[in-house]
């Protein structure tokens, strides 16, 4: 990618920082329905929608649509939804709020039961439309304020607040005493830095050094020098442009330990910098879910086998799969499938089993995170991972979910 395109895409890419900086791609298709054959299923079709940005220079997520379509094919081959075929409608929101609004309007016009496992930065535009129509939004990426606060939003993970608070704790627990955080100089990334610092300080560490990168920067040698000076760990929070930092880091010959949340320091980046001999080897990585080598992902890997365009380590794709699992489990309990019945079920469930991809999920009032504006966060767990032999794995044998609810609530209560 040449420097001019780097500059064009950096601004859009960095806006995804609050969405855990998930790995981007390219490609896509216009709104429509996937062509899955389910002739053996005799029940009524169950219609849902998924949207994500495609054919865009920043934060493209074609894997979200492809994952949804893979789930549709897989579930229909395994009995469908209560004997009827799942029908997934898709919409390209193009990283444009107006387009996201159009996707929501299409969902209303098509009378879908739910919007499931989507990716968009424009929740403040589409959630009011869905709320008015009574259509639940399941999954999502935890990017916008509306996803954390709208009563019809049912996130399956804790978004930025949870993963970065957990990441700060993981860094300190692994021996990082002096930490530098490198992030883009935008308001969204400032929020990320806040929760990273919260996790670090709660674990007994000193406040991280907060280093800002201009969105137009292509040579990050100055930031590498500043980050590695008088630090023993560097947290790379640059999303799909974390490779810019790693390139300058390798050229500098620095040995300071690196870390980040999932989606920044990726297996692909490790492979391109030496695989098991990469400077990313041993990096502290914090995620929402188990690594894809965990048995909990068996169905996901089976359903997406052979689809090269689906990066199974991409958090947005994983979230889409988890969201469809939640949808399927919830509607099983409904006498009649409707948006209203689904919302009622999600609001009152004592726990939806995702097969180990998350702890049992519930959205009852009693389990909400008691912080204004974040009260739709119910799952406050994260996973401590690492890059080992060029792959993302559990940081330690026998590891499981880490809950940072107390970290978040202690600060909110003063």
Q: Which of 105-119, 221-235, 261-275, 382-396 has the lowest mean pLDDT?
A: 261-275
Edge to edge, what strands does the sheet with 137-138 contain?
Answer: 32-33, 86-92, 46-52, 114-116, 137-138, 153-154
Residue 25 lies in a domain: no
Q: Is 236 helix (H, G, I), strand (E, B) or coil?
A: strand
pLDDT of residue 1: 44
Residues 69 and 153 in one domain: yes
pLDDT of residue 411: 62
d(CA 340, CA 337): 9
Q: Are 14 and 215 in contact (CB under 8 A)?
A: yes
pLDDT of residue 187: 82
Residue 18 lies in a domain: no
Residues 143 and 176 in one domain: no
Q: For residue range 175-212, what is the model confidence (pLDDT) as tens digits?
A: 999 999 999 998 878 889 999 999 999 999 999 999 99
Q: For residue range 15-41, what is the model confidence (pLDDT) as tens digits?
A: 444 444 433 322 333 344 444 445 589
239: tokens are 């999303």
Q: Are 78 and 39 in contact (CB under 8 A)?
A: no
Residue 26 lies in a domain: no
Give the pLDDT mean for 202-227: 95
Domain hosting 249: range is 160-287+382-412
Residues 126 and 251 in one domain: no
pLDDT of residue 40: 81
Give the pLDDT mean for 314-330: 96
Residue 20 lies in a domain: no
Residues 268 and 396 in one domain: yes
Closest of 145, 30, 166 to residue 93, by C-alpha: 30
Give the pLDDT mean for 125-134: 98
Residues 386 and 253 in one domain: yes
Q: What CATH number is associated with residue 259?
A: 3.40.50.2300
Residue 8 lies in a domain: no
Q: For residue range 250-301, what is the model confidence (pLDDT) as tens digits?
A: 999 999 999 999 989 999 999 999 988 999 999 999 999 999 999 999 999 9
Is the four-CA dihedral 49, 188, 366, 372 of positive or negative sign?
Answer: negative
Q: What is the largest CA-CA distance in the chain?
A: 66
Residue 15 lies in a domain: no
Q: For residue range 342-379, what is the model confidence (pLDDT) as tens digits?
A: 999 999 999 999 999 999 999 999 999 999 999 999 99
Residues 167 and 116 in one domain: no
Residues 191 and 90 in one domain: no
Residues 357 and 303 in one domain: yes
Residues 371 and 396 in one domain: no
d(CA 115, CA 140): 9
Q: For residue range 157-166, what is the model confidence (pLDDT) as tens digits?
A: 999 999 999 9
Residues 301 and 259 in one domain: no
Residue 60 lies in a domain: yes
Residues 173 and 261 in one domain: yes
Residues 208 and 244 in one domain: yes
At residue 73, does pLDDT exceed 50?
A: yes
Calculate the average pLDDT of the chain.
89
Q: For residue range 370-405, what is the model confidence (pLDDT) as tens digits?
A: 999 999 999 999 999 999 999 999 999 999 999 999
Q: Is 237 helix (H, G, I), strand (E, B) or coil?
A: strand
Count of structural domains within the chain: 2
Closest of 277, 374, 309 to residue 23, by C-alpha: 309
Residue 304 lies in a domain: yes
Q: Is 52 helix (H, G, I), strand (E, B) or coil?
A: strand
């Amino acid at each position: 990618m040449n420097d001019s395109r780097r500059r064009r895409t950096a601004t859009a890419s960095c806006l995804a920082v609050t969405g855990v900086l998930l790995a981007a791609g390219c490609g896509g298709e216009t709104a429509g329905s996937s062509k899955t054959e389910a002739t053996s299923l005799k029940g009524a079709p169950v219609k849902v929608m998924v949207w994500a940005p495609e054919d865009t220079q920043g934060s493209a997520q074609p894997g979200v649509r492809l994952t949804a379509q893979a789930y549709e094919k897989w579930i229909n081959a395994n009995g469908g939804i209560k004997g009827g075929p799942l029908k997934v409608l898709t919409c390209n929101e193009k990283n444009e709020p107006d387009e996201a609004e159009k996707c929501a309007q299409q969902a209303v016009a098509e009378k879908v039961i739910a919007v499931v496992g989507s990716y968009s930065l424009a929740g403040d535009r589409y959630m009011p439309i869905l709320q008015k129509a009574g259509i639940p939004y399941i999954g999502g990426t935890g990017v916008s304020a509306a996803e954390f606060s709208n009563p019809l939003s049912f996130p399956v993970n804790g978004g930025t607040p949870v993963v970065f608070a957990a990441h700060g704790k993981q860094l300190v627990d692994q021996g990082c005493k002096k930490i530098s955080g490198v992030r883009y100089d935008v308001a969204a990334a400032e929020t990320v830095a806040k929760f990273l610092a919260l996790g670090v300080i709660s674990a007994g560490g000193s406040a991280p050094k907060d280093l800002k990168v201009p969105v137009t920067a292509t040579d990050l040698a100055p930031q590498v020098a500043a980050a590695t000076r008088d630090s023993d760990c560097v947290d790379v929070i640059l999303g799909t442009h974390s490779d810019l930092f790693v390139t300058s880091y390798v050229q500098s010959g620095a040995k300071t330990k690196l870390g980040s949340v999932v989606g920044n320091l990726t297996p692909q980046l490790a492979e391109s910098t030496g695989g098991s001999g990469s400077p990313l080897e041993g990096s502290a990585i914090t995620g929402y879910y188990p690594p894809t080598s965990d048995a909990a992902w068996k169905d996901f890997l089976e359903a997406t086998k052979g689809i090269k365009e689906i990066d199974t380590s991409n958090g947005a794709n994983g979230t889409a799969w988890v969201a469809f699992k939640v949808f399927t489990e919830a509607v099983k309990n409904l006498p009649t499938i409707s948006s209203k019945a689904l919302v009622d079920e999600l609001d009152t469930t004592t726990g939806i089993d995702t097969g180990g991809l998350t702890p049992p999920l519930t959205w009852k009032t009693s389990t909400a995170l008691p912080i204004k504006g974040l009260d739709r966060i119910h799952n406050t767990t994260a996973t401590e991972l690492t890059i080992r032999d060029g792959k993302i794995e559990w940081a330690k044998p026998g590891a499981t979910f880490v809950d940072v609810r107390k970290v978040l609530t202690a600060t909110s209560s003063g």
